[in-house]
Amino acid sequence: MADLVSVFAATAARMGEATALIAPGQRIGFAALDARARGFAGVCAKRGLRRGDRVLVAMPVGVDLFVALAGLWRLGAVVVFPEPAMGLAGLRHAVRMTRPRAMVASGAYRWLRLLPWLWRCRLLTPRSSDTGTPPERTLSGQDLALISFTSGSTGAPKAIPRSHGFLMAQYRAVAPLLEGGAGQVDLVAFPVFTLVNLAEGRASVLPDWPLSRPEAVTGPALARWIGESGATRALLPPALVAALAEGPPPPALQTVFTGGGPVTPALVDRLCAARPGLRVLSVYGSTEAEPIAELDWADIDTTAREAMRTGAGLLAGRPVPGLHLRIREDEIQVAGPHVNAGYLDPAQDAGAKIREGGMVWHRTGDAGRLDALGRLWLLGRHTAIAEGPQGRIYPFAAELAAETWPGVRRAALWNGAGGPLLAIEGREADPEACRARAAALGIPRIETLEAIPLDRRHRSKVDYAALGALLSGRRNVLQGKA
């Protein structure tokens, strides 16, 4: 099969009314979901949408979102997903880059239609009463299916086009990671994994919180939703794993998958202390290449843990099958069927893509290394590498070591004016003791912050640009310049 739509339809025929999606106050089976998607595709066709039309989707993560996705793809339309963490700025950027013909929205998101730059977009909303027969479409692997955006943490968000063939390749790469026994029910905070579950015939529990605000989720609320929904596995960013570790997770929860930010030994230890016997797997990837590597934390021995604690970096595990991975000048570069080969604007390929013969290598921007066992170790953002008195200092080498120090909750390396500096978050940390330990790592300065800035998408990665601005601002204030 060349597209996920065909896989969804075949799975729906096989699974019937078995539960596909669980949302607050709502459950829907595979067959009913497929029927609704067909009906919505028919409505879109009646409203004049055609194959290849770009359609902006602005909806919360719920049943209607996946009805809209499957319906639009059945029609042959191209789904445009703005970067939610950027709010209206991300929405406007997406409209400017893609020039959508229509907009699919529900609830309060429908009011976005009043924005001047969306006036020309016709508005559609999936409804349970939608009926209609979509026109027959034969999708090829080259047909464009989706345009999403990078987080914008290193500049303007880049538009990433994904063909139906690309989505199928990504499905084939992700599906083995999620294999498990029969009867698994997954709480999924990453929509791409919900697509995999819909194709595999596995029930997915949708978040009961806005994905753009992971910092608002509390441990008790998360545990309550896991218990109420019957989830046996959870796919969460590290920030939500930290919330889950605040108390004992529900007894039915067997496995936690996590990614989207550094998954540190300290975080895994806190979670497993709250629930002994819980299986934890981390997945490393990027918006342009998901997944890259996977790691079952049960496989980590004391040697690897000690290496992470003493400055070897962060173990990410083995590269996934079918992926080409190499290290060039400390940077991780990847190529393969599920690696994005170019941005919507070709001018943005410069510096991010390397074309060698028939292969396109994506520069992840992450520093790393491969060990003798073929495992990938992450060393942090390549642009955040600092030059210290004793040589190069890698962000993760310093940060992971610092996060084992008493009272340190989070640490971040900054290479600003005056040389390397280690920012520390943690009111109970002893500044003098931390300063001595930092000096042993080759870092001459430390600064204690109330909170280290984190990325807008998952609230799990250090935002180095914001960190630099914060530290520079503090220095200006101290020096009487502001």
Whether 201-344+356-381 shares its CATH topology with 388-478 is answered: no
For 456, half-sphere exposure in the C-beta direction (CA atoms, 13 angstrom radius) is 15
pLDDT of 116 reads: 87
Please count the other Cβ atoms lying within 10 Å of the Cβ belonging to residue 390.
9
CATH homologous superfamily, domain 388-478: ANL, C-terminal domain (3.30.300.30)
The tens-digit pLDDT sequence of the chain (482 residues) is: 578 999 999 999 999 999 999 999 999 999 999 999 999 999 999 999 999 999 999 999 999 999 999 999 999 999 999 987 778 888 899 999 999 999 999 988 888 888 888 888 999 999 989 888 888 778 888 999 999 998 766 567 899 999 999 999 999 999 999 998 789 999 999 989 999 999 999 999 999 998 778 888 999 999 999 999 999 999 999 999 999 998 888 999 999 999 989 999 999 999 999 889 999 999 999 999 999 999 999 999 999 999 999 889 999 999 999 999 999 999 999 999 999 999 999 999 999 999 998 899 999 999 999 999 999 999 999 999 998 888 899 999 999 999 999 999 999 999 887 889 999 999 889 999 999 999 999 999 999 999 999 987 777 889 999 999 999 876 544 444 44
In sequence order, the 6+-apart residues with CB closer than 8 A to the CB of 282 are 257, 258, 259, 263, 268, 294, 295, 297, 316, 317
Residue type, position 397, single letter: A
CATH homologous superfamily, domain 201-344+356-381: ANL, N-terminal domain (3.40.50.12780)
Assess whether the previous peptide bond of 420 is cis (omega < 30° from 0).
no
Contact 167, 145 (CB under 8 A): yes
Tokens of 413: 């390396």
Residue entry with tokens 């990078």? 150
Residue 200's SS3 state is helix
E strand intervals along 40-158? 54-58, 78-80, 102-105, 122-124, 144-149
* Rounded Cα gap, residues 232 and 205, in angstroms: 10
Tokens of 345: 């604007």
Q: Architecture of domain 4-169 in CATH? A: 3-Layer(aba) Sandwich (3.40)
Taking the domains of the chain in order of start, what are their residue ranges?
Answer: 4-169, 201-344+356-381, 388-478
Tokens of 470: 């914060």
